[in-house]
Amino acid sequence: MITRNFFLFLSQNKFVKTKATKWGPKLGAKSVIAGETIDEAMKTVRKLNERGLTCTVDHLGEFVYNREEAIESAEYCIRTLDAIAETGVDCNLSLKLTQLGLDVDRNLCRDNMMRILETAEKHGNFVRIDMEDYSHLDATLELLHELRRRFDNVGTAIQAYLYRADKDLRELKGTNIRLIKGAYKESPEVAYQKQAEVDRNYFNIIKTHLLNGSYAAIATHDHQIIDQVKAFAKENGISKDQFEFQMLYGFRSELQNEIAKEGYKMRVYVPFGEDWYGYFMRRLAERPQNVTFAIKGLLSK
Ligand code: FDA
C-alpha cells in the first residue's frame, strides 16, 4: 500500500515529472510505451495485429490547462484516426477528456469530442473515453450521455472500485463499456479499499453488463477474473461477439496470445507519445513488480 501511494503521489508531482521526463527511456518506460510518434505507434499496432491482436491507441497527455493545448490535442486525435484509416490497421482510439479541455471549458471539450467522433464515424471507427479520477466522473458521464444522443461509436470505462459503479453501468445499458478495477487513489467515502471487495464488485458489474445484452470490454491482467468470465459466458450462452478482453501493451504478452488463439477478441491498449510520465507511474503503483521494468531500464546500457 505504501508503494502504491508513493507512485500515485509521484504520478501527480510536477517537479519529479520535469526531472524524470528526460530519464524516460532509461526508467524502462520503453517496454510499455510504443514510441513517441503516430508512425511509431502504427508500426507497433501492425506487429500486434500480425499476432492476432486488435488494438486501441492512446496518445499520452493529461491535464491540459488552456484552450490551445486542448484544441491541439483534439487535432492530434483526429490525425491519429486518419492514420489508422490510411494504414488499414485494426485499431480504435482511447482518449482522456482532460486532454480535450474538460477542466478548461466543458463546451470546448464537447466540441472537440464532436469533431473527433465525426472523424471516427467517417472512418467507421470507435472512440473510448478513458475514465479518470473521481473528480471527473460526473462530468465524463454527463458528456458521454450527451454524445450518445448523436453518436453510437463512443463509450467509456467504469471503475469497479467505486460503490456507484453498478448504478452508473445500468444507466449505460446498450453502450460499449470497458470494465476495469480502477487505477486512481480514491477515498473510502466513494470507493472500496480492499482488493477482495474490488474484485467481487468487478465480477458483479461484468455479469450485470453481459446479462443486460450489452457489449463489454473486460480490461484486466487478472487471469482468475478472465477464467471466471470465460466460464460465465459459456454457462449463460453469451457469444464471444458480445465481449472482448483488453490488456496493456507490454503486460502479460503470452496470456494475450493465448486468449487470442482461443478465439476471443483480445485488444491491446497501446500508449504512445512524449507525455508518458503519469501513465508509467500509475502502472508502477498498481503492481510493484513492474518496478523491475524500471530497474532493468536503469541497469541496461
Ligand atoms: P490486478 O493488478 O488487480 O492484478 C490481479 C492479479 O492478476 C495479480 O494479483 C496477479 O496474480 C495477476 N497479474 C496482474 N498483472 C500481472 C502481470 N503484469 N504479470 C503477471 N500477473 C499479473 N483504469 C482507470 O481508472 N481508467 C481507465 O480508463 C483504465 N483503462 C484501462 C485499460 C486497459 C486496457 C487496462 C488493462 C487497464 C485500464 N485501467 C484503467 C487500469 C485498471 O483500472 C487497473 O488499475 C489495472 O488494470 C490493474 O488491475 P488488473 O485488473 O489488471 O489486475
- Expressed in angstroms and rounded, the spacing between residue 5 Cα and the centre of ligand 1 is 16
Residue 298, pLDDT > 50, answer no
The pLDDT tens digits for 41-68 are: 999 999 999 999 999 999 997 668 899 9
Cα atoms in the 13 Å half-sphere on the side-chain side of 162: 21
Average pLDDT over residues 242-250: 97
3-state SS assignment for residue 212:
coil
User: What pLDDT score does 105 carry?
Assistant: 96
**Residue pointed to by grid coordinates 470546448:** 108
Beta-carbon neighbour count of residue 139 at 10 Å? 16
178 assigned to active site? yes
| CATH assignment at residue 104 | 3.20.20.220
* 110: in domain: yes
Instruction: Specify if 21 maps to a domain.
Output: no
Q: How many angstroms does the Cα of residue 179 sit away from the middle of ligand 1?
A: 11
State mean pLDDT over 160-177: 98
Residue 28 lies in a domain: no
Residue 218: alpha-carbon gap to chain centroid = 11
Q: Which amino acid belongs to residue 133?
A: D
C-alpha neighbours within 13 Å on the C-beta side of residue 54: 15
Each residue's pLDDT tens digit, 262-282: 999 999 999 999 877 777 777
pLDDT in tens, 96-131: 999 999 999 999 999 999 999 999 999 999 999 999
Q: What are 226's three cell numbers?
A: 478472465
Q: Contact 123/151 with Cβ under 8 angstroms?
A: no
Nearest to 218 by CA among 158, 282, 166: 158
Instruction: Give 217 Cα–ligand 1 centroid separation in angstroms.
Output: 13
User: What residue numbers bound the domain in which 283 lies?
Assistant: 2-14+33-299
Among 180, 252, 279, 283, residue to substitute to test ligand 1 (most atoms within 8 Å of Cβ):
180
Residue 22 in any domain: the answer is: no
70 neighbors 62 (Cβ within 8 angstroms)? no
Helix (H, G, I), strand (E, B) or coil at 272: strand
pLDDT at 300: 42
Ligand 1, atom 47, residue with closest C-alpha: 220
Asked if residue 81 lies in contact with residue 125, where contact means CB atoms within 8 angstroms, the answer is: yes
DSSP letter assigned to residue 37: S
What does pLDDT average to over the chain?
A: 90
Question: Would you place residue 301 in the very low, low, confident or very high pLDDT band (cuts 50, 70, 90)?
Answer: very low
What ipTM does this complex have?
Answer: 0.98
Q: Which of 58, 130, 199, 275 is catalytic?
A: 130
| Ligand 1 pocket, residue 269 CB under 6 Å | yes
Among 213-217, 254-258, 284-288, name the one with the lowest average pLDDT. 284-288
> Is the pLDDT reported for residue 291 higher than 60?
no
Provide the pLDDT for residue 28: 64
Which residues, 6+ apart, have CB-to-CB distance to 176 below 8 Å? 126, 128, 155, 214, 215, 217
Known binding residues for FAD are 131, 159, 181-183, 220-221
The pLDDT assigned to 25 comes to 53
Q: What is the pLDDT of residues 173-182, one digit of tens each?
A: 999 999 999 9
What amino acid is encoded at 2 in this protein? I
Domain count, the chain: 1
89 pLDDT more than 60? yes
